[in-house]
Amino acid sequence: MGTDLARPRVRPSVYRTTASLAIACCLAVGVLAGASVGVGGVGTGDVVLQEEAVDPDDVLITVEIDADGDAVWSIEYRTRLATDDNETAFEAFRSDLEANPEAYTDRFRERMETTVAESASATGREMSVSNVSVTAERREIPQEYGVVVYRFRWNGFADVEEGRITAGDAIDGLFLDEESSLTLSWPESHELAEASPDPTERRDGAVVWVGPTDFTAGAPRITAERGSVVTAVPSWLPLLVGALLLVGVLAAYARRDRDATPDAA
């Protein structure tokens, strides 16, 4: 697989929120397909791939937000290995990745750093990128897929004030195509207070939007607040307390009955 900047044709991005975010995601799709990638310049969003590029069947974007407002991002590209061409392209990518992982992580990091810098400027919040990695593996889900996952830590992704987490302004106006989904999760110490627009799916500790979705200005957004002391108590503790109370009551009745019984002559 080459790293030359060939420019055979223009292809739309997997999703867009800023030009450089689109570039970063198309870069990942391009390397998955064994394609060369060219960038027409930050600000144009022009990303071109080779004609034989393989489109992913699913793109799962997962954002795990912690209590400090940092978030671990995973962008997972799944391509069904239903043809010899798809399988050959995936195996070629995996071989190149194992031989030289920095060639992929470094390029992806550069583009995400551009994106994060733009988001920091737009939100007025300090942000940075760290812990960039990429993996490739075959999975059965249940058919066999080639799965490529880009991961990185977006420091300062969400705003946190007095324990209240507000997230989404850093990806304002995000676009999800029909193969893509976005999952935002929050720490167990918090509870969801608001999500906008209404998510496609609500899970325990997370919300999911499934494309095609073109978020308007001010979306997507979630707000999570610290849970009450009661919700933080382990579920088994009330049962233990109840059992101890029951044992105490039974012991009291037994003692009363023993005290009321006359001593034997």
| AA identity, residue 205 | G
- Locus of tokens 């707000």: 223
Distance CA 36, CA 16 (A): 20
Q: Evaluate if pTM is beyond 0.85.
A: no
Give the tokens for residue 225. 């607040």
Tell me the average pLDDT across 168-178.
Answer: 94
Distance CA 136, CA 32 (A): 9
pLDDT band (50, 70, 90) for residue 93? very high
pLDDT band (50, 70, 90) for residue 218? very high
- Segment holding 5, helix H or strand E: none
| AA identity, residue 16 | R
Percent of the chain with pLDDT over 90: 63
Tell me the average pLDDT across 47-55.
Answer: 40
* pLDDT reading at 12 higher than 50: no
* pLDDT reading at 19 higher than 50: no
Q: Give the model confidence (pLDDT) of 138-162 as tens digits.
A: 999 889 999 999 999 999 999 999 9
Q: Residue 144: what pLDDT?
A: 95
Beta strand pairing status for 71-80 and 144-155? Answer: antiparallel
